[in-house]
Structure 1
Amino acid sequence: MEPLPPQAETVPFPLITLEGPAMERGRQYGVQAGERIAVCLAIYRAAIDAKGVEWEKARTVARRIQERLEKSHPEQMAEMRGIAEGVGEPVEDIVAINARTELLYGLSKAAVARSEPDGCTGAIALPSVTADGHLLHGQNWDWRDECADCGVVLRIIPEAGPRILTFVEAGMMARAGLNSAGVAITGNFLECEKDGSRDGVPIPLIRRAVLSQTHLSDALLTVLQSPRAFSNNLMVSHADGDAIDLETTPDEAFWIAPEGGLLVHANHFVSAPARAKLQDRSLLVNADSLYRDRRVEAHLRAAAGSITLETLKEAFQDRWGAPRAVCRSVVSGPGGRTSSTVATILMDVTARRMWVAPRPYGPHSYTRYDLD
């Protein structure tokens, strides 16, 4: 597929290549992304402070999380220690931004009352419905607008295992991405009454672990076997031509298969068992989720058999219901916070390529990123 033409000049997210042993990769990350990691830390220090939690308390909790991760995810912890060394910050601060969900929603007096929309609309088109038989996978990431200033794309070349290409908030381990074996992942906010009821692995580390797998079955097992503290929806695909959506909670995971070659998800529980068993608190802050997924699916369904990256881009630009649309313009929230569609991420998983556009609600352009 041809690269998407730019619509306007925007500053692309920087591409950072990490290579070698975990600790060395981390040092490279910390040095090359130092300014953006500092921005990310400032954003979440302020966010946690706004919850009435002192940063030192957040660090204490991060140290406890670190102790668990040293045993369960030693390679990722080595990389985080390298990041801390490279950027000149305590390692617990790097753990803290990776555990931002646990700290933002697990420490405040409001417990797990997640009052700010952490959205996302994701879509996967299987080879049977695309124009050239490629598997396409994409997402609009809706969150704090200022987080566009700390985004980076990582090209990770480990000593063993598949190469990884992932869009992240600087200092984090993974968000949306793909690997050289053909595994790809995006994620969406979900919330239920079980959230915060147990300890778990921070979501960025689960996503990174998924991107370290070579087969769809192993990628799914990685999610299913990981202890989780908070709900999250994970859309996992493979270039060989299939995908599964996992609506996860701390206790369970509910799966959704593609229908008619398409898999679309936003920010509410869709599977029948989940809807019957859980209190879907996601809708208390993301009622627009009820139409966002349907609108993206309708756009793609109308083009079934001829879907391209351009089709996906158009679907993610849908403005119906603005400002609470698929493509969200800047919306003011409590305490002066602003949310928006921070980035659109498009992946041709078959070709192992990614395109990312920052702040796509305004004039924007897509930048192509390759694994090689």
Structure 2
Amino acid sequence: MMTFPTFTSSQTEPRLRGKELGTHLRKHIVKNYAGYTDLFAVAGATPAQVRGWGERALDRSADWAPNLAEEMAGIAAGAGLEPWQVAVVNARTEILAAIDAIGHGECSTSVVLPESGPPRTVQTWDWHDHLRDAPILWELEPRPGHVVRTFTEAGALAKIGIGTAGLGVHFNILRHESDTADLGVPVHLIARRILDEAASVEEAAGIARSARVSASTVITVVTESDAGSIEISPAGVAVIPPGPDGVLLHCNHFLDADLAAGERHATQRPGTFDRFRHLSDHVEGLRQEDQNARALAMLSHAPGAPVCAHPDLTQPLNQRWETLATIGLDLPAGRLRVHQGGPCQVTEATWQTF
């Protein structure tokens, strides 16, 4: 069984926690940073631009969440990088928006709130195949008695995750016409603060609204009894609730009517709508208590809109997409269940519980 690297922090002070992580996962972090410099270069960014964006992201982060900026500085010290370089990894969504990079892969998320029992969630995480070694699983204690476990990229402070306060998050990228090259707070830091601080969808949305952002994303927040997809863009923040049937689906286009007016993927990446239709057509499978069944309900290799993606090696690296992970949240246990790869490779034995 293939598994992702795991790390459990023993340090609780932000800079020391970051340095400990950076020291133990130095090779992973340095390799991930190098992978992003390659991606940005192929997409048309110069080294000077990337450094400038990293420095601005670090400044914005320090203003909005000083403790998280300290943690990034600690990761840099441990990994032998500069703080702005770790900020580049955390701000990769913002830098891709600044470059105006568009691709055809990306993630699909399903949350079902059943009439009884805990939420049933699953998402695919698609990204560039040359970054398939980027993911790690990280456990930390941001405050006494509160444990956060996150599936993230080496050097990034959070992505998909769950906390012992009973709240978890899924994560999908979006694009909006208001996205700008004037870098704001990285959306990955918003996910981290939600995991660290929020206990409800409302609290999570408040954290998102407090950040000045330059790029768009959707953070789907799940608790034992509630869920909401928090759509974030420079034009504003909106919360999409589950339907009357308890189902909440999201791919890579805005669902809020006002924000959808500025949608970028609608014309440039229309496959997101086909993936959303696939999820809608397979809700009965996504309702299942068994996570294997939920993952298999995601399975689609449809040309142009695969929910389970495999890279086309004839394409340049910025246009090669692969489903690198399939992930579900176990809220009662405060744990993630993670499969390395796409739904077509799932078996009961391939799940890594963290």
Give distance in 1, aligned partners of 2:63 and 2:285: 48
Q: Residue 126 of structure 2 contacts residue 324 of structure 2 at CA under 8 Å; is this kept in 1?
A: yes
2:28 to 25, 28, 36: 36
2:136 to 128, 142, 152: 152
Are 1:116 and 2:111 counterparts? Answer: no
SS in 2 for 1:212: helix
Partner of 1:208: 192
Report deviation, 1:101.
Answer: 2.1
TM-score scaled to structure 2, two decimals? 0.91
SS in 2 for 1:149: coil
Relative to structure 1, the CA distance from residue 101 to residue 232 in structure 2 (aligned partners, 3 Å threshold; closer, same or farther) is: same
Are 1:301 and 2:284 counterparts? Answer: yes
Partner of 2:306: 325
Report deviation, 1:105.
Answer: 3.0
Give distance in 1, aligned partners of 2:185 and 2:286: 39
Are 1:290 and 2:273 counterparts? Answer: yes
Are 1:218 and 2:203 counterparts? Answer: yes
Aligned amino acid, residue 40 of structure 1: N
Greater displacement, 163-172 / 329-338? 329-338
TM-score scaled to structure 1, two decimals? 0.87
1:237 to 203, 206, 222: 222
Report deviation, 1:320.
Answer: 4.7
Give distance in 1, aligned partners of 2:9 and 2:252: 32
1:340 to 322, 334, 339: 322
Q: Residue 248 of structure 1 contacts residue 254 of structure 1 at CA under 8 Å; is this kept in 2?
A: yes
Give distance in 1, aligned partners of 2:130 and 2:301: 24
Are 1:48 and 2:48 counterparts? Answer: no
Deviations for 1:179-199, whole angstroms, at most 9, x for unmatched residues?
010111112121121111654
Give distance in 2, aligned partners of 1:134 and 1:186: 16
Report deviation, 1:328.
Answer: 1.2
Report deviation, 1:218.
Answer: 1.3
Relative to structure 1, the CA distance from residue 363 to residue 46 in structure 2 (aligned partners, 3 Å threshold; closer, same or farther) is: same
Q: Residue 47 of structure 1 contacts residue 104 of structure 1 at CA under 8 Å; is this kept in 2?
A: no
Aligned amino acid, residue 335 of structure 1: P
Deviations for 1:97-128, whole angstroms, at most 9, x for unmatched residues?
1111222331x4xxx2x322351101111142
Give distance in 2, aligned partners of 1:177 and 1:148: 19
Q: Residue 142 of structure 2 contacts residue 196 of structure 2 at CA under 8 Å; is this kept in 1?
A: no
Deviations for 1:233-259, whole angstroms, at most 9, x for unmatched residues?
1211112x1001122220212221111
Report deviation, 1:266.
Answer: 0.6
Give distance in 1, aligned partners of 2:144 and 2:182: 32
Give distance in 2, aligned partners of 1:104 and 1:268: 16
Give distance in 1, aligned partners of 2:257 and 2:41: 38
Q: Residue 233 of structure 1 contacts residue 247 of structure 1 at CA under 8 Å; is this kept in 2?
A: yes
1:13 to 1, 4, 28: 4
Alignment of 1:252-267 (within 5 A): 252-259=236-243, 260-267=245-252
Residue segments in structure 2 that go unaligned for 5+ positions in a row? none
Give distance in 1, aligned partners of 2:239 and 2:329: 22
Residue segments in structure 1 that go unaligned for 5+ positions in a row? 1-8
Q: Residue 130 of structure 2 contacts residue 317 of structure 2 at CA under 8 Å; is this kept in 1?
A: no
Give distance in 1, aligned partners of 2:283 and 2:219: 20
* Paired positions, count: 347
Give distance in 2, aligned partners of 1:40 and 1:236: 27
Partner of 1:357: 339
SS in 1 for 2:227: strand
